């Protein structure tokens, strides 16, 4: 009986590893989405239930609406809001839920639009509306936790996936290199110069610090300037400003 070649065995192992990797990625996506759904369920619960369950959702330190916050400070802020609005109802719009994961960083970014209704029966006040929510979920500990929370108004630019903009930066660098080549460009370097944002159309806007080196008769000439690069969902650079 002929023995399978090492090449065939290797291909089989590679396929098995790929399948395992895909399964792990799917599990991570599902866990991140489950945590985002759990987040709104907890936030919609009675105050005593919400305050008991909320600490398990967060890491000890959290990026909270643009500032680094200790979990104890975040809980105090949640408690103040809950006292103001003891009746709360928050629901994701299921069709807007999106998750983007970074395997190397062991984190996922979950984004969605949600609708809310809040009330304070004792004061006879109520409010309702909709908002966007972005939760960065870390898998670095023994269970998934939220390490960043922010929001945006529908129609505004929303946070881009953490770590998901590396390819876009490379596309922008190549675009600049091609544009500068006729003028004697010999080297282009770009670095992120601010937060990457994603518009409602799925277009990434990347603030970059660009450094272009040109060949000149008297020696290399370096020019540096800030630019904003825009990349569409298909991976095309649609503008440099």
How many percent of the chain have pLDDT more than 70? 80
Determine the Cα–Cα distance for residues 86 and 88; give it in Å rounded to an integer.
6
Position 41 scores a pLDDT of 95
Cβ contacts of 88 within 8 Å, gap of 6 or more: 43, 44, 82, 116, 117, 118, 119
The domain of 77 spans: 6-156
Determine which of 105-109, 215-219, 222-226 has the lowest per-residue pLDDT on average.
Answer: 215-219
pLDDT band at 21 (very low <50, low <70, confident <90, very high): very low
**pTM for the full model?**
0.59
**For the segment 88-103, what is each residue's pLDDT rounded down to a tens digit?**
999 998 888 888 887 7
Q: How far apart are the first and last CA of the chain?
A: 66
Q: Are 31 and 24 in contact (CB under 8 A)?
A: no
Shared domain check, 183 and 114: no
Count up the domains in the chain and report the number. 2
**Same domain, yes or no, for 52 and 133?**
yes
Backbone angles phi, psi at 36, to 5 degrees: -65, -40
Same domain, 62 and 17: yes
What average pLDDT does the chain have? Answer: 80
147 and 44 share a domain?
A: yes
Most confident segment among 7-11, 62-66, 103-107, 112-116: 112-116
Please tell me whether residues 60 and 16 are part of one structural domain: yes
Q: Which residues of 139-177 are buried (b: 16+ CB within 10 A; e: fewer)?
A: beeeebbbbbbbebeeeebbbbbbebbeebbebbbebbb
Tokens representing residue 88 in the block: 């709360």
- Write down the H helix ranges in the chain: 6-43, 47-53, 71-84, 166-180
Please report whether residue 161 resides in a domain. Answer: no
Q: Within a domain: residue 223?
A: yes
Taking residues 159-165, report their average pLDDT.
53
Residue 112 has pLDDT above 80, yes or no: yes
pLDDT tens per residue across span 22-58: 456 678 888 999 999 999 999 999 999 999 999 999 9
Between 170 and 46, the more confident residue is: 46
Instruction: Specify the higher pLDDT residue, 1 or 130.
Output: 130
In this structure, the answer to whether residues 149 and 180 fall within a common structural domain is: no
Q: How far apart are CA 72 and CA 145, in angstroms?
A: 15
When pLDDT is averaged across residues 56-80 and rounded to a whole number, the result is 91
Are 178 and 132 contained in the same domain? no
Q: Do 32 and 96 reside in the same domain of the chain?
A: yes
Q: Is 110 left (phi over 0), alpha (psi -120 to 50) or beta?
A: beta
């Amino acid at each position: 009986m002929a023995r399978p070649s090492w090449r065939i065995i290797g291909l089989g192992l590679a396929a098995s590893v790929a399948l395992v990797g895909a399964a792990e990625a799917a599990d991570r996506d599902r866990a991140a989405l489950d945590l985002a759904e759990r987040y709104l369920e907890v936030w919609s619960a009675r105050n005593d239930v919400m305050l008991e369950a909320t600490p398990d959702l967060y890491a000890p330190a959290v990026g909270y609406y643009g500032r680094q916050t200790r979990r104890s400070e975040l809980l105090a802020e949640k408690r103040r809001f809950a006292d103001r609005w003891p009746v709360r109802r928050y629901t994701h719009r299921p069709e807007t839920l999106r998750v983007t994961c970074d395997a190397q960083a062991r984190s996922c970014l979950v984004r969605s639009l949600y609708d809310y209704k809040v009330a304070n029966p004792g004061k006879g006040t109520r409010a309702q509306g909709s908002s966007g929510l972005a939760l960065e979920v870390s898998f670095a500990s023994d269970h998934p936790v939220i390490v960043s929370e922010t929001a945006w108004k529908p129609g505004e630019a929303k946070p881009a996936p953490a770590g998901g903009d590396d390819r876009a930066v490379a596309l922008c660098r190549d675009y600049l290199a091609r544009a500068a080549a006729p003028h004697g460009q010999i080297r282009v370097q770009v670095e992120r110069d601010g937060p990457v944002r994603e518009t409602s159309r799925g277009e990434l806007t990347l603030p970059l610090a660009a450094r272009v080196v040109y060949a000149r008769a008297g020696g290399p000439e370096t020019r540096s300037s800030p630019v904003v690069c825009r990349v569409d969902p298909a991976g095309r650079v649609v503008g440099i400003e």
